[in-house]
Structure 1
Amino acid sequence: MAFSAKRIAVFFVTVATIVSLGACGSASGSSTGQNSSNGVQTINVAGVTGKKPYTYQEDGNYTGYDFELLKKIDEKLPKYQFKYTTLQQDALLTGLQSGKYSLASCSFYGTAERFQTFDYSKKPTGLSDARLIIRSDEAGTINSLADLAKSGKKLAPIPTDDARYTLINQYNEENPNNKIEFEGATEKSATVADVLKSVAAKKYDAAIYPYTSYEAIKDELNLNLKLTDSIGLFPTVFLYHKGDSTSQLRKDVDKVLQEFRDDGTLSKLSEKWYGEDVFKLKGADKVDSVIYWK
């Protein structure tokens, strides 16, 4: 890439949710797992379905990045048997907090508030590739956060508890002489489609979303928009019911997640479901418990 990159030590507790993703299936048992006759521990896993390419139905079967990752993890951990269920995110988080589920797979980013309520994986389940989405006529002038700041163009508002808000604030702190002017949104009612339509209509000049969020709806919207190069990578995590009952499970899953990162399994899943290997993007090797922006 033509621009330089910097690493920002922003730990998980400072990162916020951008999108909700998930896993699926049918559920039974309790969050702490139940021992079957052969000593295998049943683990109830919850997720949000209908989120292509993360977890969704195709020909009556569930598929997607998150769902396939969970199946591979389950295969590597014979002492556990994962049982899946899908539901709305609010219900998922309520069930996770109460102990109905042990693990939630929704490609979560974290918030300080969320991590006070739930435990989380210390190894990323994947990386989210943040991009600027601009009108095609801006493609020659904006391809990075520095370009956006220098242009003086208007960035679509971002919720104040969102990872994208943290990303821009961190950039501005590091670049006091070339800041991005933007507003914090107090409401989350605007959908990705709504915001992208407002960019196309020139109400705003740019928006920030994960690559996969744009790719999932670009054909449906058919707007005169274009993606820039990657501007930031964010780790995604599993959430766990908070307590000692999930402590060993988290350690075991983290070990497999590291193995999958090392042996290329996560890269293959990324290529298959995201259309790019996010683990080969510039700065990906530095993303563990930090945000990496460019």
Structure 2
Amino acid sequence: MQSKTRSSKGLWIGLGVVIVAIIAVMFLHNTGQSSESSSKVETIKVGSGNDGQPFAYLDKDGKPAGMDIALLQAIDKKLPQYKFKLTLSDFPTMITNLKSGKTTIAMYQIEQNAERKENFKFGTVGYTVWDTLLATKKSTGVLDSFADAKGKKLYVTNSTNQATLTDAYLKKNANAYSVVRGTYAMEQVAQGLNSEQFNVYPAPKYSIDLLNRQFKTNLVYGKSVNHSNAYPMFNKKADPKFVKAVNKAMAEMKEDGTLKKLSNQWLKGDYVPKD
């Protein structure tokens, strides 16, 4: 009887060990699944430019380059829960892609205006100053307002905030000036000003500095006609969690000097907003 009892006892102990082992394996398996699920990376489709040096363009090897591209890469690095997939295009196509949902976020020196605020979400941290100035050759004279441009010919890039501002003034003041529209590279803008194809270029200080530095245009300007900064812009239906994560990453990079470093690297000066 005693031997039988010891044998039964041993059997129960053995079964207990097996059951504990099975529970442990199941626990580890479930924990592994949970860990794998929580660490899943979400792909985010991102829009930017393909021919806008030094902001977003394709380099000689066909690889994306520029300040906005470098900034997107820096944000992507700070957000391991997301993986950015780039779609590069001209500015109007980038806007269309974002509105239709083909992309979730776009960065290509995008400014806020009433129409865009209605159709998109904006980030909370600006990264480039885009106050609009009216650049002219010295012979044209210094302009402080659109009213000062009466009778002159302006060049604006399609779908930009400068085009919106120019058209808004024309709407209230018909035939105040004429407008040349296009998607000119900076060299073409310089040629247009030098050949007097147009004599006023609404643009931020950065663009005027670049024209003067690279193409010796000797442009002058007066007071700002509009205060603005460039911001990340999101599809209206973008996940608020993602928008919040990007805003946080941008705020950290402004605080730690990353935005200033990228501005100096790509724009040859500190054009980061102080506000």
How high is the TM-score relative to the length of structure 2? 0.65
Aligned pair partner of 1:241 in 215, 235, 242? 235
Q: Which has the higher contact order (CA 8 A, sep 6+)?
A: 1
Is it true that 1:128 corresponds to 2:127 in the alignment?
A: no
Aligned: 1:145 with 2:144: yes
- Which residue in 1 is equivalent to 2:56? 55
Matching residue of 1:188 = 181
Among all aligned residue pairs of Structure 1 and Structure 2, give the percentage whose two residues are the same amino acid: 23
Q: Does 2:140 match 1:157?
A: no
Identify unmatched segments of 5+ residues in structure 1. Answer: 1-34, 172-180, 287-294
For the pair shown, the structure with the greater C-alpha radius of gyration is: 2
Match in the other structure for 1:176 = none
1:23 matched residue in structure 2: none
> Which secondary structure state, in structure 1, belongs to the residue aligned with residue 265 of structure 2?
helix
Task: Report deviation, 1:80.
Answer: 1.3
Letter in structure 2 aligned against 1:278: Y
Separation of aligned partners in 1, 2:258 and 2:66: 14
Residue aligned with 1:101, SS: coil
State the 1:119 CA deviation. 1.9
Query: Relative to 1, partners in 2 of residues 1:229 and 1:145: Cα closer, same or farther, differing over 3 Å?
Result: closer
| 1:64 is the counterpart of 2:44 | no
Residue of structure 2 equivalent to 1:270? 263
1:45 offset after TM fit, Å? 0.8
**C-alpha distance 156-194 of structure 1, shift in aligned 2 (>3 A):** farther
Find the partner of 1:257 among 244, 250, 257. 250
Contact 2:39-2:81 at 8 Å conserved across structures:
no
| Equivalent residue letter for 1:58 | D
Q: CA RMSD in A?
A: 4.0
Conservation of the 8 A alpha-carbon contact between 1:164 and 1:208: yes
Q: Partners of 1:202 and 1:99 in 2: how far apart?
A: 41
User: What code does the residue aligned with 1:92 have?
Assistant: M
The structure richer in helix per residue is 2
Per the TM alignment, residue 224 of structure 1 is displaced from its structure 2 partner at its CA by 4.5
The residue type equivalent to 2:144 in the other structure is: L
Aligned residue pairs total: 232
1:59 and 1:201 map into 2 onto residues whose CA distance is: 29
The more displaced of 79-88 and 189-198 is 189-198
SS of 1:278's equivalent in the other structure is coil
Q: Check whether the contact 1:65–1:273 (CA below 8 A) recurs between aligned residues.
A: yes
SS state of the match for residue 113, structure 1?
helix
**TM-score normalised by structure 1 residue count:** 0.62
Counterparts of 1:51 and 1:36 in 2: how far apart (Å)? Answer: 39
Q: Please point out which of 203, 217, 226 is paired with 2:219.
A: 226
In structure 2, C-alpha distance between the alignment counterparts of 1:239 and 1:36, rounded to whole Å: 29
What secondary structure sits across from 2:228 in the alignment? strand
The 2-side partners of 1:190 and 1:63 are apart by 19
Q: SS of 1:239's equivalent?
A: strand
Equivalent pair of 2:206/2:271 in contact (CA under 8 Å): no
Distance 1:189 1:69, change over 3 A: closer
